[in-house]
């Protein structure tokens, strides 16, 4: 790593940057040495408060208490809408680019968005939603997703967005876990020229959710839907009848803003809970500094609002800053692999933020799809979600960015709320594949497996030594799980679950998860979740899932399945298992390979040795390591033989 290529900050970028190198160094030092004053100033400058806080930082990682700006009164929707009206009421807030490339894009101004949000907020109230109630949002990439989120925020309700690609079962689990009584969905979603039955999925999910009393249905396609009288309400009718006047609730800085489910190494997905003041501060600050955002620029984050990236960098960050945020309904390869760059030209996008998996997929389609567009509006590129391999970085830089656009490789997590390790375009020289340096207030540490602090250029487990404002506060309904998952492995520190290396310049290189979490096309998945789905099948005795390197997806899913005695391994059964996973979780969790395993390698105490399964999946048979502790070492030979015959 020491001889990694370095890309210095371009002179032009440095000259106009929101944060210069000197400012970064000075502010970073202050954010650690004089933290309370630093954060108080930022919160004061960046956000509108109905009432100032009593305490800046009341967090204690040892006790599992995370609190920022306690006593402060604030409203997230007010900050994203109302306070912009005077200066930029008629400026575009959201550009909605539909799936169909020939359709006109919709430009929604701040004034218009404010009105839509207020109306839907009143519609929610009319159905009994009150401060603190949870509302589930199961929508495609349409403006109503942002409207619904902000409408919840406006009245102090807590949104729980569920990715539109999740199955009815996954939706049901989430609705029940957070006890939502209201769901917002659409008749159908549209992606890549095809329609998907979102309402039908929701209907199926809600069969076992008796407490859901209202389902708002956005009419996206006009496709046929079943209707449950009394429960189902057309969104367009509800907002037509609602008043456009809805004062923003004065919520406490520590009142919950949203819950977002994410996968961990054990058990069911966790409801990561974020609160209002600290989250919004992190979102707004990183959006401005990391993307070096300038007034009037069109900014495009290609994530789905179902993931945290969509929450923070399509909705809250950009709107808090009065930015123009582009929302894209479609997919990168429809009608062809040049769609992203066509959209960049169509809307003069200046800042473009996507995932390495998309870059790799498009790279594989050849340069012509890129070079047919001008991309002259582009100024800055970003990546998120997984490590980017230097080859993809170079392609992004050379072909997409024409060697003139710095790339910010941003490391963060659902739990962190906003970007924590990242270059700042005007301050940080880049090294392809490195997320580079910590953002303000972030104190990364590397520790060995025993928790010993590691100094200098070294690899280890990535921890954060202090709390930051946009940090998650708890796992919804299970605070103990929050403490156990994040704050107990290394006492007094937040453990990220990631491994990282630090080089001699202090740059961080994220190497990937060190726990049983997979990162498939930037989507997080627990191996345990996939295993639980597989063993639901009557023919399956046992299953073990591991990741393996995949050229496009980053990681692929490799499942070992042991059948009940007497059951035959057939292609039909493989198909049933794939269907089962689609039903339980969603298509994104479908294994790339299912290998029939007569037995799984276990220790004498019965623990599955995943290390060995990973090696077999990756075909790294020379480095299987010590197999002497296995109860039955011959199992491994069988697996290797079966893999060769696969
Ligand atoms: C991984 C997405 C390397 C990491 C915002 C983390 C990354 C997990 C990067 C969180 C990056 C995210 N370089 N790895 N720039 N960004 N990751 O919760 O393993 O969906 O723990 O949040 O993605 O995924 P999540």
Site to substitute for ligand 1 among 385, 520, 525, most atoms within 8 A of C-beta = 385
Burial of 31 (0-12, 13-18, 19+ CB in 10 A): buried
Strands 256-262 and 158-161: parallel
Taking the CA atoms of 315, 319, 323 and 329 in sequence, report the sign of the dihedral they define.
positive
pLDDT at residue 646 in the model: 67
pLDDT at residue 543 in the model: 95
- Name every residue whose Cβ is closer than 8 Å to that of residue 437 and which is 6 or more positions away in sequence: 28, 421, 422, 423, 428, 506, 507, 508
Tell me, using a 6 A CB cutoff, whether residue 407 lines ligand 1: no
Q: Which helix (H) or strand (E) holds 240?
A: helix 235-241
- Secondary structure letter of residue 615 according to DSSP: H
pLDDT at residue 264 in the model: 85
Phi-psi region of 260 (alpha: psi -120 to 50; beta: other; left: phi over 0): beta
Q: Which helix (H) or strand (E) holds 252?
A: strand 251-252
Tell me, using a 6 A CB cutoff, whether residue 322 lines ligand 1: no
Identify the three-state secondary structure at position 56.
strand
Tell me, using a 6 A CB cutoff, whether residue 412 lines ligand 1: yes
Q: Which two tokens stand for residue 316?
A: 């809250």
Taking the CA atoms of 396, 400, 404 and 409 in sequence, report the sign of the dihedral they define.
negative
Identify the three-state secondary structure at position 262.
strand
Tell me, using a 6 A CB cutoff, whether residue 494 lines ligand 1: no
Identify the three-state secondary structure at position 357.
helix
Q: Which two tokens stand for residue 532?
A: 């639980």
Q: How far is the CA of 173 from the centre of ligand 1 (A)?
A: 24
Q: Which helix (H) or strand (E) holds 569?
A: none
Give the atom of ligand 1 at the shortest distance from the alpha carbon of 524.
Answer: 20
Say whether 521 counts as a known binding-site residue. Answer: yes
Which value does ipTM take for this structure? 0.99
CB 31 within 8 A of CB 461: no
Say whether 524 counts as a known binding-site residue. Answer: yes
Give the atom of ligand 1 at the shortest distance from the alpha carbon of 523.
Answer: 20
Q: What interhelical angle do 35-46 and 21-33 show, nearest 10?
A: 120
Residue 31 and residue 424: Cα distance in Å, rounded? Answer: 16
Strands 106-109 and 92-97: antiparallel
Q: How many CB atoms lie within 10 A of CB 532?
A: 16
Residue 200 and residue 627: Cα distance in Å, rounded? Answer: 49
CB 220 within 8 A of CB 188: yes
Q: How many CA atoms lie within 13 A of 332 on its CB side?
A: 21
Furthest-apart CA atoms within the chain: distance in Å: 74
pLDDT at residue 3 in the model: 61
Q: How far is the CA of 610 from the centre of ligand 1 (A)?
A: 22
Whose CA is closest to atom 25 on ligand 1? 413
Q: How far is the CA of 459 from the centre of ligand 1 (A)?
A: 17
Q: Which residues in the chain land under pLDDT 50?
A: 1
Tell me, using a 6 A CB cutoff, whether residue 318 lines ligand 1: no
Residue 559 and residue 570: Cα distance in Å, rounded? Answer: 15
Residue 304 and residue 283: Cα distance in Å, rounded? Answer: 16
Q: Rg of the Cα trace of the chain?
A: 24
CB 249 within 8 A of CB 131: yes
pLDDT at residue 638 in the model: 87
Say whether 513 counts as a known binding-site residue. Answer: yes
Helices (H) and strands (E) in the chain, counts: 22, 31
Residue 610 and residue 516: Cα distance in Å, rounded? Answer: 9
Tell me, using a 6 A CB cutoff, whether residue 524 lines ligand 1: yes
Say whether 410 counts as a known binding-site residue. Answer: yes
- The reported pTM is 0.95
Instruction: Specify the length of the chain in residues.
Output: 646
Q: How many CA atoms lie within 13 A of 642 on its CB side?
A: 21
Q: How far is the CA of 510 from the centre of ligand 1 (A)?
A: 9
CB 564 within 8 A of CB 541: yes
């Amino acid at each position: 790593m020491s001889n990694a290529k370095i890309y210095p900050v371009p002179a032009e970028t440095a000259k106009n940057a929101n944060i210069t190198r000197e400012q970064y160094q000075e502010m970073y030092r202050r954010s650690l040495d004089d933290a309370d004053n630093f954060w108080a100033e930022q919160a004061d400058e960046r956000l509108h408060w109905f009432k100032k806080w009593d305490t800046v930082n009341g967090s204690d990682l040892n006790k599992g208490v995370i609190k920022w700006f306690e006593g402060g009164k604030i409203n997230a929707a007010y900050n994203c809408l109302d306070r912009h009206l005077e200066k930029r009421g008629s400026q575009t807030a959201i550009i909605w680019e539909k799936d169909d490339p020939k359709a006109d894009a919709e430009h929604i101004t701040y004034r218009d968005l404010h009105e839509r949000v207020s109306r839907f907020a009143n519609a929610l109230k009319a159905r009994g939603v009150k401060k603190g109630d949870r509302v589930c949002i199961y929508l495609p990439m349409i403006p109503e997703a942002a409207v619904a989120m902000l409408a919840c925020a406006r009245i102090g309700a807590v949104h729980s967005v569920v990715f539109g690609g999740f199955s009815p079962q996954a939706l049901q689990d989430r609705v029940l876990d957070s006890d939502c009584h209201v769901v917002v969905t659409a008749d159908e979603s549209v992606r890549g020229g095809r329609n998907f039955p979102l309402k039908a999925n929701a209907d199926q999910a809600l069969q076992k959710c008796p407490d859901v009393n209202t389902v708002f249905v956005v009419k996206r396609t006009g496709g046929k839907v079943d209707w449950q009288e009394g429960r189902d309400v057309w969104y367009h009718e509800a907002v037509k009848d609602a008043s456009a006047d809805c004062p923003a609730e004065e919520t406490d800085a520590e009142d919950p803003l949203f819950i977002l489910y994410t996968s961990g190494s054990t058990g069911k997905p966790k409801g990561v809970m974020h609160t209002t003041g600290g989250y919004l501060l992190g979102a707004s600050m990183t959006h401005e500094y990391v993307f070096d955002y300038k007034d009037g620029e069109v900014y495009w984050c290609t994530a789905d609002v179902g993931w945290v990236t969509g929450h923070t960098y399509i909705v809250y960050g950009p709107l808090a800053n009065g930015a123009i945020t582009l929302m894209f309904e479609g997919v990168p390869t429809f009608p062809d692999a040049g769609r992203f760059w066509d959209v960049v030209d169509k809307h003069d996008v200046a800042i473009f933020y996507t995932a390495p998996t998309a870059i790799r997929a498009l790279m594989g389609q050849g340069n012509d799809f890129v070079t047919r567009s001008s991309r002259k509006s582009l100024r800055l590129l970003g990546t998120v979600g997984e490590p980017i391999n230097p080859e993809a970085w170079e392609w992004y830089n050379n072909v997409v960015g024409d060697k003139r656009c710095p790339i910010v490789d941003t490391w963060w997590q659902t739990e962190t709320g906003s970007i924590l390790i990242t270059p700042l375009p005007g301050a940080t020289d880049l090294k392809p594949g490195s997320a580079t340096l910590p953002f303000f207030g972030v104190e990364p540490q590397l520790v060995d497996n025993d928790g010993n602090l590691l100094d200098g250029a070294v690899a280890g487990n990535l921890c954060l030594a202090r709390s930051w404002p946009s940090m998650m506060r708890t796992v919804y309904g299970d605070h103990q799980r929050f403490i156990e998952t994040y704050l107990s492995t290394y006492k007094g520190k937040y453990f990220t679950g990631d491994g990282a290396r630090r080089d001699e310049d202090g740059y961080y290189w994220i190497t990937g998860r060190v726990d049983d979490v997979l990162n498939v096309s930037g989507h997080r998945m627990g191996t345990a979740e996939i295993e639980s789905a597989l063993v639901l099948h009557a023919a399956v005795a046992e299953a073990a899932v591991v990741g393996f390197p995949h050229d496009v997806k980053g990681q692929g899913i490799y499942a070992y399945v042991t059948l009940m005695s007497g059951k035959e391994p057939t292609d039909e059964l493989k198909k049933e298992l794939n269907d089962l996973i689609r039903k339980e979780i969603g298509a994104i969790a479908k294994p790339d390979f299912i290998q029939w395993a007569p037995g799984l390698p276990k220790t004498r105490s019965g623990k599955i040795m995943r290390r060995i399964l990973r090696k077999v999946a990756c075909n790294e048979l020379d480095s299987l390591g010590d197999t002497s502790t296995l109860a039955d070492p011959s199992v491994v030979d069988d697996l290797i033989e079966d893999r060769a015959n696969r």
